[in-house]
Amino acid sequence: MTGDFPSGSTIYFAEWIPVSLTYNYQTTIMFSTVLLSGLSIIGAIIYFIRYKYKKQLNIITSADQAREILKSDQYVRHISNAWLINTLSIVNPFTIHDKSLLKTFKNRVILILANWYKEDKYEELVFVIGKRIDYHIPLLQLNNRKLCLSKLVKQVTLDSFLTGVLNVNANDDLLTELPDLIIHLWKNRDDKKAQTRLKELFVNNNDQFTQSEIWQQIQTILSNHSSAISNMGINDFDEKISNPLNIIVPGWETMWRVVFYSLLELLRHPKLLEELSLQLNDQSKSPQNCLLLECIIKETLRLYPPTKNIYRTHIQTGEEVRIDIQHIHHNKSAWGSDACTFRPDRFQEKLTDEQQKHYLPFSISCPARHKFAYIFAGAIITEIIKHCPTFTIAEESILPSTDKLLDVTRNSYNDLLILV
């Protein structure tokens, strides 16, 4: 091959490659370049389309807009509630979008709760709560007259709801384990061991729930709407319909936090606690008519709404929204410069129109929002204070100063001890 090239010539490799091979090589390079460019363009188009049409989670902080969405038939509960079906086996109007189910369930609960508006039923409820506190304090009390406030509130609220409202006498295992199991599964939704234990507790208390007339009424409503539940492709929906959590979670989960945070704020405001205690001990007045207690509960609900965010999805556009209830409740234009300060006396006078719009602790459809929530929470607060005459924070426990809001994480102040 050396004889093919002039002596002293510089030979480049490309010059040596046959013409046909050079052509194929150049064609391949050009094709690859075009292909890569085309893929890049297609990728950019796909990214643009996804970005443009992706469901954006719109955050709603306007009270007017929030109320419009909550009233609208065009918005349904967001898919984020689906975990309640999968983890806690709840198939009530909180998880199932069905107008008939919502209306029937809501109307029945309103009628049930109306019983406790009567003076004799209220006194009966207070008596039951007092008995349950008498039962739980010795079980929780340590040797040094101290006990864990969160455990007392969770267990007493659950026991009072089951015994006083549902007429269910659950065993100690359910009363002590269920509150922590629910809260645990709220954070650890795939814990199969905890889910199994949850089912065991209800199996062991099945006879008690079967004897509850109110629970049977609720279960019948769910059964009558089984088609709406089965249409969602839910597995084992018969088992889920018979799950007592369908009524326990709505009745207990919100209430214990209202009671707990009201008591925490009273512990941070000793003078207010003293004033409330004096009024509650006035035998000439019923605690049900204690304005100060009502104001404390309402201010607690304003500062620490049980549901901080409400999620909805538009049925036609797919638009997803998050209604920021906490932001609405802390709006300074409605509540003043001290909107983030615990001041119950703001509720002693009639709220302005703007304040009424900016107060949504139970959304707009919760059956308990009118009166029962305040009656039930107020009765528990009253009886805990009466049964714990010293009711102060133990020296080893600490709460933030009053110029700061309390932490609303579910396990916050879980170890806080009080003197009883």
Angle at 254 (CA atoms; ends 136, 99), nearest 5 degrees: 135
Cα dihedral: 91, 96, 102, 108 (round 10): 0
User: What is the pLDDT, as a whole number, of residue 38?
Assistant: 54
User: What is the pLDDT, as a whole number, of residue 363?
Assistant: 85
Rounded percentage of the chain residues whose pLDDT exceeds 90 = 64
Beta sheet of 57-60, edge-to-edge order: 57-60, 320-324, 309-314, 75-77
Task: Provide the pLDDT confidence category of residue 235 given band limits of 50, 70 and 90.
Answer: low
User: What is the pLDDT, as a whole number, of residue 13?
Assistant: 39
pLDDT higher than 50, residue 256:
yes
Owner of token pair 């008939």 = 100
Give the model confidence (pLDDT) of 174-228 as tens digits. Answer: 999 999 999 999 999 999 999 999 999 999 999 999 999 999 999 999 999 888 8
φ/ψ of 155, rounded to 5, equals: -70, -40
The secondary structure of 220-286 as a DSSP string is: HHHHHTHHHHHTTT-TTHHHHHT-THHHHIIIIIHHHHHHHHHHHHHHH-HHHHHHHHHHHT-TTS-
Q: What's the DSSP call for residue 142? A: -
Spatial distance between the Cα atoms of 357 and 343, rounded to a whole number of angstroms:
19
Contacts of 372 (CB under 8 A, 6+ apart): 113, 116, 117
User: What is the pLDDT, as a whole number, of residue 80?
Assistant: 60
Mean pLDDT of the chain: 86
Long-range contacts of 229-235 (CB under 8 A, 24+ apart): 229/91, 229/96, 232/96, 234/85, 234/91
pLDDT higher than 60, residue 345:
yes
What mean pLDDT is predicted for residues 163-173?
Answer: 96
What mean pLDDT is predicted for residues 96-104?
Answer: 88
Closest to 262 in 3D by CA, of 274, 250, 277, 273: 273
Cα distance between the two ends of the chain = 106
Q: Which of the two residues, 113 and 273, has the higher pLDDT score?
A: 273
pLDDT higher than 80, residue 336:
yes
Q: Which of the two residues, 82 and 298, has the higher pLDDT score?
A: 298
Closest to 400 in 3D by CA, of 259, 261, 255, 258: 261
Least confident of 73-82, 104-113, 115-124, 166-175: 73-82
Spatial distance between the Cα atoms of 42 and 251, rounded to a whole number of angstroms:
53
Cβ atoms 81, 375 nearer than 8 A: no
Give the model confidence (pLDDT) of 11-22 as tens digits. Answer: 443 444 454 545
Cβ atoms 290, 279 nearer than 8 A: yes
User: What is the pLDDT, as a whole number, of residue 33?
Assistant: 58
φ/ψ of 213, rounded to 5, equals: -65, -40
What mean pLDDT is predicted for residues 5-30?
Answer: 48
The dihedral sign for the CA sequence 316, 317, 323, 328: negative
Strand, coil or helix: 381: helix
Domains, the chain, ordered by start: 60-419 (1.10.630.10)
